[in-house]
Amino acid sequence: MVNVVHQWNPDDWEMFSLSLLQVRHGTLDVHKVPATHKGDFGIDFYCTNEAVIYQCFAVEEPVDILTRANRQKSKITTDLKKMVDGATEVSKLFLGTPVRKWILLTPVHDSKDVNLHCAKKTTDLRAKDMAHLDNRFEVCIHDQNSFPGAALSAAMAKLTNVSLNIQPPTQEELDAWQAGSPNLLANATKKLAKRTGPNDVQAAVNDGVELFLKGNALIDALRTSAPDLHEKVAAAVASRTRRLTYVGPQGGPAPSNILNTELDTLISVIKEAAPTLSHANAEDIALGAVSDWIMRCPLDFSSDAV
């Protein structure tokens, strides 16, 4: 399966997190601590009713699991120290109520090492017997899976930019797909030979399969993480497919002209339908759709135009 990871910038993740926390605690019960003036005490958001602190942190993707875990552990250590050093101010924020939980809120949590680090920090801080921390104080890590799907969809709809990072399919994934799709490969080979000639057609077919799998993975990721955005993108692609099937391609007669014209048009249509989707993601989805058109029926080229 092709791996897709949302590329969060810190501001977008913080805004997204706020939407999630407002669903969890109520709009009026989540408070922000700005970091621009004298720091934030290791706190992005807090809820006095639940005596809980949230620190938002999105690792710059793509990274492997170990790197992600190490950066999350480092963030936990750094920001807990801020909370300890700012004990007097933190106590004032919570109106004298001891803090029960400090939670790192992150897009992806996929390593038990972070849980063990949280447990160690919990033990260390309980041993300090600090007045502004509850005697059952706990350090935790939560990610998107800690929230219901409806909350995630609503938060995603508020974003001004959605950018997913997609890793290329592995050679094993490419081989498996090609082994199960001989008719589609034969169709693509026949069509792309009109653009590349016989010597380079296999490389073009391989590229097309990779683009197709990446585009489909992005569509599937949007279906899960941003259903409204997925619906708009899918409708835009379907509309262009119907038009292509009925009236034929634009930009001929040379195959490269047709491909460039159809690709640019589809990117524009996707961006018009889903302006918050990043241009790179729109292009990947369009490339996947054009590859699909080549492997199936809608898009072909004239042999005379090569």
pTM: predicted TM-score of the whole model, two decimal places: 0.72
Mean pLDDT of the chain: 91
Residues 252-286: pLDDT tens digits?
788 889 999 999 999 999 999 999 999 999 999 99
Residues 12-57: pLDDT tens digits?
899 999 999 999 999 999 999 987 766 679 999 999 999 999 999 9
CA-to-CA distance for 232 and 249, rounded, in angstroms? 22
Q: Are 184 and 294 within 8 A, CB to CB?
A: no
CA-to-CA distance for 212 and 17, rounded, in angstroms? 32
Tell me the average pLDDT across 203-220.
Answer: 94
pLDDT value of residue 264: 96
Q: Taking 70 as the threshold, does the pLDDT of residue 3 lie above it?
A: no
Residues 179-197: pLDDT tens digits?
999 999 999 999 998 888 8
Domains of the chain, earliest start first: 7-153 (3.40.1350), 162-305 (no CATH)
Question: How far is residue 133 from each of residues 35, 86, 122, 137, 300, measured CA to CA in Å?
Answer: 22, 12, 11, 6, 68
pLDDT value of residue 83: 96
Q: Taking 50 as the threshold, does the pLDDT of residue 306 lie above it?
A: no
Q: Give the model's confidence band at 95: pLDDT under 50 very low, under 70 low, under 90 confident, else very high.
A: very high
pLDDT value of residue 305: 47
